[in-house]
Structure 1
Amino acid sequence: MKTPHVSHQRPEDENLGIGANMAYGLQHVLTMYGGIVAVPLIIGQAAGLSPADIGLLIAASLFAGAGNAAANPGFTVFGCQLPLVQGVSFSGVATMVAIVSSGGEGGFQSVLGAVIAASLIGLLITPVFSRITRFFPPLVTGIVITTIGLTLMPVAARWAMGGNSHAPDFGSMANIGLAAVTLVLVLLLSKIGSATISRLSILLAMVVGTIIAVFLGMADFSSVTQGPMFGFPTPFHFGMPTFHFAAILSMCIVVMVTLVETSADILAVGEIIGTKVDSKRLGNGLRADMLSSMFAPIFGSFTQSAFAQNVGLVAVTGIKSRYVVATGGLFLVILGLLPFMGRVIAAVPTSVLGGAGIVLFGTVAASGIRTLSKVDYRNNVNLIIVATSIGFGMIPIAAPNFYDHFPSWFATIFHSGISSSAIMAIVLNLTFNHLTAGNSDQQSVFAAGTERVLRYQDLAALREGDYFSDGKLHDCDGKEIPVLESEHGVAEPRAAHAKSSEHV
């Protein structure tokens, strides 16, 4: 008799079909579009480029989505095969603006050269970063995921206010009201019984929000017909990259931050979709980012990394398929080749993105809190590790100028709340949970302050008449019951005298 084949398909390997891949992939593109175009806009303006050249920078950044489309299938050692979307990283904006604004050698070409050189160095050191997974238990990953969500909330707030802080209507009730309407639409569509509508709630809410904005005169599509319909990014349009030591050194620090943040995003999405992420998959994902970052400057783009915004979209929709985000990468390539389509998406009011962003980024934080609920807080200082790491990550958000007087390399690393909390969580976890020499048996008021609970398994091991006396457990006949140390260092009664323990 033939043994039936049992499938062990990973959740990320599910292929939903062309139609669903296109719909959910477009939703990913809309979510990340504002973040992608913001980086070339900021750097292009700082470099004094013309509007036409800035438009080419935007097209190049969209075209870099080819890296995302190629990485998700996971060819050889490039790509972690997870539903992560790759795009231009925000981490290097301050450093690249400083390079083009310093008046030194190279200018914009120096930025491109520094990105290529630093990304090559990052590619060479990925084996080191790929072996840190054992230092990312739920304690650390929960902290990082929570911080990612909290760090992105100011972005959602700025979007809801209109996006451009110099605009006269920035923060107006009209903008915030439009964001609120979009938020309400997301919630209402999520409540509808249809699974398809619920999963597309973000996309549908943005479409309806944009239609409302058109009727209210808050959306301008007049520029959609202006400009070419088709255009291919020209290699080295901005000149050949130049290589200068100071610029490369600064970008190396940015690449280190990018590797930390991408590692956190890869582990976060693995936790959200419930799949295993080992050192091999982590290394493959990091190599994909570094390889894309090396080739992006050829067309005029910058460092690439996994987009934290889209981690939230995965958590909200529950769509775990990597083919969805690969399709989104193809959309980005098409948008890079069709400036017309790019102008259509660019016309979506920023306030609409802000309303959806509140749900997206809040969901990331909620996923982190759910992960932290799995942490054992008994007789240890895990509570203070969580408190200190999240607090440390919130410093750049609460006080953006906090690190202005620190050395530039230090400020570059810790100006990101995500990398700040990740570094602090890793260091504290190593100090208290791995380097246990000198740890007290009764570890501080933070351990004592945690809620006192007993597990059902502990109670199930007890019998009628068992009692505690002088710190020892005795049975009904007065005989002492041995107490063993659990794997977490917590005393547990030996159940040898009782019935076999039942796992609940």
Structure 2
Amino acid sequence: MAGGPAVTTDPGAPDASDPLLTGEGPPPLRRLVPLALQHVLAMAATPVSTAFLMASALRLTTAQTASLLAAVLVLSGAGSVLQSLGGWSFGARLPFVMLPGGAATALFLQIAHDRGPAVASGSVLLAAVLLLAVTPCYGRVVRLFPPLVTGVTVLLVGVSMVRVTAQLLIGPGGAAQPGALAAAGLTVGITLAARLLLRGAWRQCAVLVGLLGGTAVVLATGLGVFAPATASGGSLPRLLPYGTPEFDLPAALPLLLFGLTSLAEATGQTALVSERADLARDVPRVARADALVSLVSGILGAPPMVTSSENIGINRLTGVRSRHVTATAGGLLIAAGLCAPLSRLVAGLPAAVVAGAALVVYAMITVMGVELLGRTLLGDSPDALVVGLALTVGLLPVVAPALYSGAPGWVRTVLGSGVVAGTLTAVLLNTLCSAVPTVARRSTASAGRV
């Protein structure tokens, strides 16, 4: 009897046609919602902690905090839907989520601290416009920001914001109150315990667990108070909460540089999330979606929004690569942001608890910078000298804030920001060191022909 070889089927093997695995077509609703909730759990800590960090730094009322939280949640959800579903060259149509960038938030607060929140909002708008403008030149721009440069930038952002957060704990009296220090320390401890002991999506929500657990302990011990916003204060997103945005190009430099470096990060994320991605096509679409949502973010008083790697680990762990899952997660975040009672309740978290969570967030940003630099340093190579000099230039205004006080205004703005000074130094020195071997090889080749 003629016939081909027998085909055996493993009943335990995943179905290769499953839309959750292939990313093609919407999966059944009964599977879609639980998977989307898993992404929401992994994402939620970032917008919540961002809103409260900004509220503490900008001394916002509880009603303003609730409004800002609603805005950040809605923006995160809308950005996730845009990146996942795409349209008109905005969004890569890949399973991405969008969140307020940790480094971007730090830079926003730095500008707000130095020049006021209206200037910070204007800087968000300028950075978004610049990102839209450079996406056609993606290939040329991204070469200026290899891991060496982005590592310097991220490390300096983390160090600078740990200093700013410590100043928030000090308060107007010039010295931190013991109760505030205890509340912040408890929050850090609970966050660390959650990170060590929890698993899966809950582990990724360690910051959120720290915020809620720290609040519970602080209230129980009398170290803080819970003061949610009143219903009359409103908690929906507000247009221009800090007044008309002000445009100051030198002050906006930190966020302008961040917008350019985000192209390098988007490249790595796009390669990780899909083996079939066309980087030349998809990365500019990712960047355009970031820029579009950031334009709205500047109008709502929030920091720049960026496509995040928060969900990539979940995609890898579960094998689920459906963009419909991340789009649904975005829809759930929008619903949470428009739920006014939720925003008002969360806005009442004690300031010291938020400061403790912020210290954890910026400590992780600092470590991310170290990891990026660890990929590039090779003993006594020129890269080590470039990093050392860039970090020195970037740390000077952190350790000696009055160093440039006698310099002209534009010099104080550029060199007085450790992030800007360090990043510019890294770009210039890296470009110079990359060009030197080329010159040396040409000289050697010319000598060989003589």
Instruction: With the length of structure 1 as denominator, give the TM-score of the two structures.
Output: 0.63
Name the counterpart of 1:133. 142
CA distance in structure 2 between the partners assigned to 1:271 and 1:284 by the alignment: 14
**Which stretch of structure 1 is more off in the superposition, 324-333 or 401-410?**
324-333
CA distance in structure 1 between the partners assigned to 2:241 and 2:422 by the alignment: 39
Question: How far did 1:431 drift?
Answer: 0.3
CA distance in structure 2 between the partners assigned to 1:373 and 1:357 by the alignment: 24
- Determine which of 131, 154, 166 is the counterpart of 1:145: 154
Question: How far did 1:388 drift?
Answer: 0.9
Within-5 A mapping of 1:359-374:
359-374=360-375
Question: How far did 1:33 drift?
Answer: 1.6
Structure 1 residues 429 and 227, CA, compared in 2 at 3 Å: closer, same or farther? same
Over the residues paired in the alignment, what is the CA RMSD in angstroms?
Answer: 4.7
Question: How far did 1:93 drift?
Answer: 6.3
1:185 is the counterpart of 2:197: no
Question: How far did 1:211 drift?
Answer: 0.4
CA distance in structure 1 between the partners assigned to 2:354 and 2:201 by the alignment: 21
Question: How far did 1:148 drift?
Answer: 3.2
CA distance in structure 2 between the partners assigned to 1:367 and 1:139 by the alignment: 12
Structure 1 residues 55 and 174, CA, compared in 2 at 3 Å: closer, same or farther? closer
Within-5 A mapping of 1:269-348:
275=272, 278=279, 280-296=281-297, 300-301=300-301, 304-306=304-306, 314=310, 319=314, 333-334=334-335, 337-348=338-349
- Determine which of 254, 257, 263 is the counterpart of 1:257: 254
CA distance in structure 2 between the partners assigned to 1:217 and 1:290 by the alignment: 44
SS in 2 for 1:171: coil
- Determine which of 174, 187, 203 is the counterpart of 2:179: 174
Contact 1:67 1:86 survives alignment (8 Å): no
CA distance in structure 2 between the partners assigned to 1:213 and 1:59 by the alignment: 25
Name the counterpart of 2:100. 86
Contact 1:130 1:283 survives alignment (8 Å): no
- Determine which of 44, 48, 52 is the counterpart of 1:30: 48
Tell me how many residue pairs correspond in the alignment. 403
Within-5 A mapping of 1:367-382:
367-375=368-376, 377=378, 380-382=381-383
Quick one: which amino acid aligns to residue 192 of structure 1? L
Q: Which has the higher helix share?
A: 2
Instruction: With the length of structure 2 as denominator, give the TM-score of the two structures.
Output: 0.69
- Determine which of 19, 25, 35 is the counterpart of 2:37: 19
Which is bigger in relative contact order (C-alpha 8 A, separation at least 6)? Answer: 2
SS in 2 for 1:132: helix
Name the counterpart of 2:420. 419
Question: How far did 1:257 drift?
Answer: 3.5
CA distance in structure 2 between the partners assigned to 1:20 and 1:128 by the alignment: 36
Name the counterpart of 2:222. 217
Contact 1:89 1:305 survives alignment (8 Å): no
Unaligned runs of 5+ in 2: 10-14, 24-31, 442-450
CA distance in structure 2 between the partners assigned to 1:325 and 1:254 by the alignment: 35
Question: How far did 1:274 drift?
Answer: 7.6
Contact 1:224 1:340 survives alignment (8 Å): no
Rg bigger for which structure?
A: 1
Contact 1:228 1:340 survives alignment (8 Å): no
1:203 is the counterpart of 2:208: yes
Name the counterpart of 1:388. 389
Contact 2:67 2:343 survives alignment (8 Å): no
CA distance in structure 2 between the partners assigned to 1:154 and 1:32 by the alignment: 17
Structure 1 residues 267 and 113, CA, compared in 2 at 3 Å: closer, same or farther? closer
CA distance in structure 1 between the partners assigned to 2:202 and 2:106 by the alignment: 32
Structure 1 residues 203 and 376, CA, compared in 2 at 3 Å: closer, same or farther? closer
Structure 1 residues 365 and 412, CA, compared in 2 at 3 Å: closer, same or farther? same
Question: How far did 1:432 drift?
Answer: 0.8
Name the counterpart of 1:72. 83
Quick one: which amino acid aligns to residue 150 of structure 1? V
Contact 1:214 1:220 survives alignment (8 Å): yes
Structure 1 residues 61 and 27, CA, compared in 2 at 3 Å: closer, same or farther? closer
Quick one: which amino acid aligns to residue 375 of structure 1? T
Name the counterpart of 2:448. none
Quick one: which amino acid aligns to residue 132 of structure 2? L
CA distance in structure 2 between the partners assigned to 1:355 and 1:115 by the alignment: 26
Within-5 A mapping of 1:110-121:
119-120=128-129
Q: Identity, % of aligned pairs? A: 19
